Structure 1
Amino acid sequence: MEMTNGNLPKGIWGTVLLPVDGRGEIDFGALREEIAILCASGLDGIYSNGTAGEFHNQTEAEYEKIVTIVAEGARGAGCPFQVGVSHTNPRIARDRLRRLTPLAPSGVQFILPDWWTPSDPEIVHFADGMQDAAAGVPLILYNPPHAKRKLTLDEIANLRKRMPNLVGTKLAGGDEAWYRERRALLPDFSVFVPGHTVAFGRPRGADGAYSNVACLSPRGALLHWQLAEEDPERATELEKRIVSFMQQWIIPLISSHGLSNIALDKMMAAIGGWGPVSERLLWPYISAPTEALNEAREHYNKMLPEFAPLF
C-alpha cells in the first residue's frame, strides 16, 4: 500500500460498486463481502458513492447505511477509505458532509452543483460552504468530463486557495502540455486520472487513479500502476491492450445498447468476477445484456491474461 504525503491521497483506489439482487434491491450482505475483498486486495484505499457506486440513485436511508457499512468494513481491515457526498442538490451534499465527521473518513469526494450550471460567484459560495462543513476532513473534487461546469487547472488552483481542506481532484487527464500545466499550477496536490491512462500519466505527474481498471481487476489495476514506475515499456504495452479491450468490447455498448458509464463499470466487475457484483443496476437504468457480457469476458481472458488470475 502506497504511503501518502500528509493528507494527500496517492495510488490506486477501488470504487465500491453496489451489489443489486434479483429483486432490484441493494444486497447489503454482498456489499460487506465486496468491501472485505477490496480491502484485502492491496489497493491504496477504497471509496464509496462515486459514479460507479450509483450515488445518483440512492435514498438518504440507503446512503446512510452504505457509508456506515463502508466505514466499519474499511476500519476493521485497516484500509483507508473515502466517502462521496455528491448530490444534484448542493444543500444535501453539504449536509452529508457535516454528518460524516463521526465516521472519520480518509477523505470526502464531491462534485460541483450540477443540476444548473453554477456561475463563478456560485462556485465560490459553494466552496466556502463545503470548506466550512468539512471540519478538518480532506476534500477531493470530482470534476468529470460530463460535469456541467468543467474547471481548468488554473480554476482548480484558485479554488484550492479558498479551500484549505482541498487536497486533490479527479480529472480526465490530458497530453504532455496538460501535465506540464498540472505540475506548475498544482504542486503538493493530488491529481487523479482515469485508471486506463496511468502508464502515460504516472511519469508525468499523475498521483493515482480512482480506477475504472480496478472494476475489472483490483490487483490488475495495481499491477498496471506499479509497472508504470518499475517497467514503463511493459506498462505502456499493457495500457494499449487495456484500452483496446475497452474500445472493442465495452465502449460500443453505449451506442449499440444505450448503456451508461455506470453500466459499463458494473459490466467490467462482472467480467472480472472478483467479487459478488453483477451487472445489475438499480431501477430505472439498463444493465449490460448477458450475451454481450459473455462475449466480452471471453476476449478479456485472451487480451489481458495478466488480469484473469488476479482478484
Structure 2
Amino acid sequence: MSSATSAGPDVARTVTGYLDHLTVERGLAANTISSYRRDLRRYAEFLAAAGVRGLGEVGESDVAAFLVALRNGDDDHPPLSATSAARAVVAVRGLHRFALLDGLITDDVAAEVKPPAPARRLPKAIPVEQVVALLEAAASVEGPRGLRDRALLELLYGTGARISEAVGLAVDDLSLSADPSTAAVRLAGKGGKDRVVPVGSYAVRAVQDYLVRARPALVAKARTGVRGGALFLNARGGPLSRQSAWTILREAAERAGIDAELSPHTLRHSFATHLLDGGADVRVVQELLGHASVTTTQVYTLVTVERLREVYATSHPRALR
C-alpha cells in the first residue's frame, strides 16, 4: 500500500458525492448510475478488506489489484468478463478523477490503470453461395416488391453500404450510365462524410429493373408524392425504413433456408470479407466501407486468416489432424 500523511476522505462518503454528481450534474441514466453504484460499493469493500482507511491512502497498485480481483472473482463474486470489468474500472477512474478535481486528494493514482480490452468479436460473414441464395430468394416474391427487394440486397452486397445508407439513398445518388463499368453510387456515411462507391453489374441490372418495372408502381401509391425522390419505397409509396429493410433480409433468409443468424450488417461484412479473400488491399476496402481508420477495417483480415486456417487444416497433407 502507498504511504500518506493522511488517510484522506472516507471512501464511502466520496462515492456518494460522486454518484450525486453523476446524477444531478451529468444527468447519467438510472441504469448507468445503478451499475456504477454496484461497482463502487465493491471497490469500497475491497479497499476496506485491504486495510485502506481513506481515498488518500490508495495507490496505483491497489487499483490494479482491484482489477485483478474483478477478473478472478472470489467466494462472493463470480469472475467478471472483460466488458464488465472495464465498466467497473471506468467507474473507479471516474471516482478518483472526481476526488482530485474536488481537491479531496492530491494524486490521481487510477489514471494509468487501463480497463481490459473486450474480446474482439469477428464480423459475421456468409459464404458466397449463401449470398446468391439470399438474393435469389428476395427476387422470388412476385410483383414490384420482389424487384425492390432484389435491388436493395444486391446494392447492399455490391457496395458494402450500411442499411441506413441504402435506405437513405435518393434516385439522384445513383450514376448508372450505359457503360456498367462506370456505374457508381454516392453514399452518405457517418459524420456527414460522403463517399462514391462503384456498383457491380449485377446490382446495376437489379436496380435498373426496379427503377423501370417496380418503382413507378410504388410511386403511384403515394398520396402526396415521394419527398426527395427516395430510391427505395415501401408499399404505400413512402421511403423504406431501416426496420423494413431488416425484415426484407430476414424473410429472404428464411425463404433461402439459411439457418445462420443474419443482421442488417451481414451483407456489409460479407462484402468486405469476400473482397479481402479475393486479394483486395485492406486500404481499398477501408475506402469502400467508409472507415475513418484502417484499424477498423483490419478486423476483417482476421476473418480471412481463420478461413485460411480452415482450408489449410482440411487440405494440406501435413496439416495437424
TM-score, normalised with respect to structure 1: 0.21
- Which structure features the higher share of strand residues? 1
TM-score normalized with structure 2 length = 0.21
Greater relative contact order (Cα 8 A, min sep 6): structure 1 or 2? 1
| Higher-Rg member (1/2) | 2
